[in-house]
A and B are shown apart, each in its own frame.
Chain A
Amino acid sequence: MELLIPAALLLLGGTVSSVFKGRLGNYISSFFSTISSLIICYFSLNVLFFNKVFEERLILAPVYVKLVSPISLPINLSLLHVKMDSLSAFFCLILGVVGFASSIYGFSYVNRYFKKEHLGFYGLNYAFFLCFMYLVLIIYDVFWFIIFWELMTVTSQFLVSYEKEKIAARKAAYKYFCMVKAGSEAIIVSALIIIIILSGMETSFDIVKTCTEKLLAENPILANALLAMLFIGFSVKASLVPFHTWLPDAHPEAPSNVSALLSGVMIKTAVYMFFRLFYFFFKPTIYWGYIVATIGTVTLFTGTMYAILQTDSKRLLAFHSVGQMGYIVLALGASMVLYSMKGEVYAILASAAFAASLYHALNHAMFKSLLFLTAGSVIYRTGLRNLNVLGGLARLMPVTAISALIASLSISGIPPFNGFVSKWLIYSSTIPSFTLLTIYGVIALFISAVTAASFVKYFTTLFTKPSALELKGVKEVPIVMLFSQIFLGVICITLGIYPVLPLTIISPVSKLLFPLGDVLSYVKVLPGIALLKVGFVSINSPLIIAVSLTLISSITAALLPHRIKEFSVWSCGVSFRKYLMNMPADSYFKPFEESFKELYLTGKFLHKVFVEDFIKRYLLSAKVLARGTENFVVMLTVFALIAFLILLFLV
């Protein structure tokens, strides 16, 4: 029973909180979410460190069975089979940590909607959203998986459109819902094919796995078609290019702590399913590896190149979510390609890529949620997201500024922080492979510089450049919000300095899924870096020496005595007017953007052809169709057809 305690707590908390319109609604829901996030962390750490496996077969309430059984549906609906193996536990740990931080943050943050919105409605959806994400990760049954997957979409959609007065929020939620729903149709259809045709109405993951393995041997075309459908369905949720267009609209509109959950955890559930698909249900092949790696590279390139253009703080972060998902998927694809190539060196590279994918998923969850929380803190105090007018907040909100700096450096992959280790594993597994992956690795390396550039923009325009507005009464955010920022910041640094921690929790996952076994046996983990066991290491701990040298030299330089005087900024002799002498975020990196003009024009063209025109045509044909179907004869024919099809299946 214990595995379902957090889910039950969340459902209870959500339901109770929905009664209260005021602050109490938020407090109850946040309290229950915090508690259950901690319990989720406890379970997943137990699985990852002590090799426990939690498994649960729950027969649902007898009343429910009575309701269902007279119709005698073929699928055993009354059985809820949940299991936390190490892959689930890894993603549950992400959910637990990010959920904990954002729930604590929510205690204070969500009160800014007090009297404008119904806080109980937020509480209900927030707790349910957490609950369904948790259930999606631990469910061990295809049928229930689809149900929870849909419920996760629905609840998160309500959170995106939480500020219902804003047209942008409603539009974004609608777009998000439509796109993800379309993707999940692909999942449903292929799942139904598997359930009905192959597995004989058995829906447990284990049985489906044996069926797909048999199918791969007997009918590889059908198997690959199913895999392709599932991949497309999940890549809408994972926001891979070309299915990414919902994300930059939807994520900024949600309350900031929900954005942290959406970017940090929800899109990772799709990554979780990618791992299940390619390593659990099906076998990794070189073709699929190349397809996945190519899509990953296109995604990371597109997402980040568009992120550098943005001047809205949360939209910039949302585009980076697309980009960083590209890194994760590229590493996943690379591991599949390299695994399929024989040889000892390729085995090492493959396991490094496998570890890198999971490691980067973990890191991305941490630093991206931290970034969304800092953006939220700025919104909390100023109410603004526009980077053109904001600025100078580092003096007013120092702790938030430092957390944002830590997260920015992490996502840019600057050495002592966590983004560096995972990105470094990606490069060092792809570039020396001497295949197409070399070029992908080079692109990833370049894109990390673009990421760094856009975070120079994000950090400096928010915190250090003089503001273009007079920001009155802005002060540091309340202590609970600071706590979750510091908490995530400390995790970012810890994961960077001690890569052995994340790699230890990745190693049971690789033992479970990866055909080459434990990744830790292929990687030499040192503080601050994880080296591949290719070639040699000339000095035992090169980094410690280098870091100590570095620290000694810079500290001596910093400690040399000198006096500091303050003076106004040099402004060519005229009086410095800080609201006027200012460089807006729009003008940042203009020359760089212009040198990639062709690229952006192509993107614009593609967007026009494939998104705008497509939607226009779709709406037009829907209108025509609606007129047609109002006709009585047409309706009757359709009903007859559907009935015929159902009969066909039943026979």
Chain B
Amino acid sequence: MIAQLLVLTNIVGLLLITPIIDGIERKIKARLQCRRGPPILQTWYDLLKLFRRPSIVTEEYSLPYIISPYIVFANIIFALALLPSITRVSLSFYGDIIVLTYLIASSSIFIAIGSISSGSVFATIGANREISIATLSKLLIALVLASFAILKGSLTLEKLFPIMPPYTISAILAIVLFAILAYIESYKLPFDIPEAEPEIIDGILVEYSGKSLGVLKYSMYLKRVLLFTMLIDLVLPRNLPPIISSLAYIVSLIFVSILFVTIETYFGRLRIDQALKFMKTLIPILLVVIVIAYFHI
């Protein structure tokens, strides 16, 4: 029962923290661009405003357009329950890492189906880009996952975290590559192709408004935090005392988001084919990582 409560604490805590993390990111980004930037709680204000607004739906819509934001939200919450975050407890079972990848992929799929169902052609283009990136990144995630499995001999997240020791080249490489993947999957700037504002007017989000938009945005922030959490869990030592580990987690969450947003500020958007080409170059590297992990290098 205690474990369940701790998992609940994780999720509630992350639900509260996530918009603040995004607020910090916006602040940092503004400072790097010599602006003052909005207050840290601005994302929370935005979300609350969206939740209060009425939704405007299109005349062409069909059912998935209405329900998919909630399914995406549910997927992300489910995925959050699988990772140890604020408390170091999670729902863990054999092969949960595969379920995690499936949940991430299925959130992309539902975003795509929902936005195409709005009937807007911009949303269709955005969804196409989303799926193209999500599909290729699933290959990369699968390869990273295989290298983790070989490194630690398990498919259970509990046993994967932290990935080091063993302090091997392959372990370090696997973590670095996962960080790159997390960056791509969180649609940070060179890769924010599905929701490109100037090109396809926010792509997948173009026809969403009010509460649906709020839920979708909230789930996107949560997905970002989910990927950061996974990255942190791979590195953070396991046997810390409870309070310190929670603090360490939150500090490193802020650190990762600041790091990523700093990188983001220095890039413009890539074209979709450039992004896919970049992702393709990671495939041989990952294969090499798998091979050297197999030989414990």
Contact = CB atoms under 8 A, between A and B. Distances in A.
Interface of A: 392, 394-395, 398, 401-402, 405, 412-415, 420, 424, 427-428, 431-432, 434, 438-439, 441-443, 445-446, 448-450, 452-453, 456, 459-460, 463-466, 529, 531-532, 534-539, 542-543, 545-547, 549-551, 553-555, 557-558, 560, 562-572, 578, 581-583, 587-592, 594-595
Given A432-B155, A562-B53, A591-B273, A401 B62 contact: yes
Interface stretch (B1-9, B22-30, B173-181): B1-9
The 4 closest A-B pairs by CB, nearest first: A449-B138, A394-B62, A563-B54, A464-B117
Contacts of B146: 431, 438-439, 441-442
15 contacts: A394-B117, A395-B62, A414-B102, A420-B102, A424-B98, A438-B150, A442-B145, A460-B117, A465-B119, A529-B93, A549-B8, A565-B57, A566-B59, A569-B60, A570-B207
Main secondary structure, interface of A, reads helix
Given A549-B77, A569-B118, A442 B142 contact: yes
Contacts of B187: none
A553 B63 contact: no
A563 B120 contact: no
B122 A570 contact: yes
A558 B77 CA distance: 14
B35 interface: no
A464 B113 contact: yes
A414 B78 contact: no
B143 interface: yes
Contacts of A558: 67, 70
B182 interface: no
B135 to A, nearest CB: 5
Contacts of A554: 70-71, 73-74, 77
Interface in B172-230: 201, 206-207, 210-211, 215
B136 A589 contact: no
Contacts of B120: 569-571
Given A432-B153, A557-B215, A595-B276, A414 B60 contact: no
B4 A566 contact: no
B94 A566 contact: no
Given A565-B56, A569-B118, 4 more contacts: A415-B102, A562-B53, A590-B128, A591-B128
B95 A553 contact: no
Contacts, number: 262
B158 A538 contact: yes
B56 A567 contact: yes
Contact of A446 (B70, B142, B211): B142
A420 B272 CA distance: 29
B156 to A, nearest CB: 6
A601 to B, nearest CB: 15
Contacts of A555: 70
Contacts of A588: 128
B94 A595 contact: no
A466 B125 CA distance: 14
Given A414-B109, A464-B62, A569-B59, A445 B124 contact: no
Interface in B73-131: 73-75, 77-78, 81-82, 90-96, 98-99, 101-103, 105-106, 109, 112-113, 116-122, 124-125, 127-129, 131
Contacts of A590: 128
Contact of B94 (A534, A546, A568): A534
B294 interface: yes
B116 A428 contact: no
B265 interface: no
B139 A446 contact: yes
B249 interface: no
Interface string B155-168: 11011000000000
A536 B95 CA distance: 11
A564 B73 contact: no
Contacts of B3: 538-539
B44 interface: no
Contact of A542 (B53, B91, B139, B277): B91
B63 A538 contact: no
A534 B96 CA distance: 12
A488 B117 CA distance: 24
B62 A531 contact: no
Nearest to A425: B95
Contacts of B273: 591, 594-595
Nearest to A460: B116
B134 interface: yes
A366 B240 CA distance: 49
A463 B62 CA distance: 8
Nearest to A538: B92
A567 B191 CA distance: 31
Contact of B78 (A443, A547, A571): A547
B58 interface: yes
A594 B73 CA distance: 32
A550 B215 CA distance: 14
Contacts of A537: 92-94
Q: Which of A424, A554, A587 has the most CB of B within 10 A?
A: A554
A427 B98 contact: yes
A452 B62 contact: no
Contacts of B82: 546
A564 B208 CA distance: 11
Contacts of A532: 94-95
B65 interface: yes
B95 A560 contact: no
Given A438-B149, A583-B124, A415 B99 contact: yes
A591 B58 contact: no
Contacts of A459: 113
Contacts of B71: 554
Q: Which of B4, B77, B96, B128 has the most CB of A within 10 A?
A: B128
A391 to B, nearest CB: 9
B132 interface: yes
B64 interface: yes
A555 B206 CA distance: 24
B252 interface: no
Given A464-B116, A554-B70, A569 B102 contact: no
A432 to B, nearest CB: 5
B121 A583 contact: yes
Contact of B91 (A456, A546, A564, A567): A546
Given A535-B154, A539-B4, A549-B8, A562 B98 contact: no
A449 B135 contact: yes
Given A539-B4, A549-B11, A428 B98 contact: yes
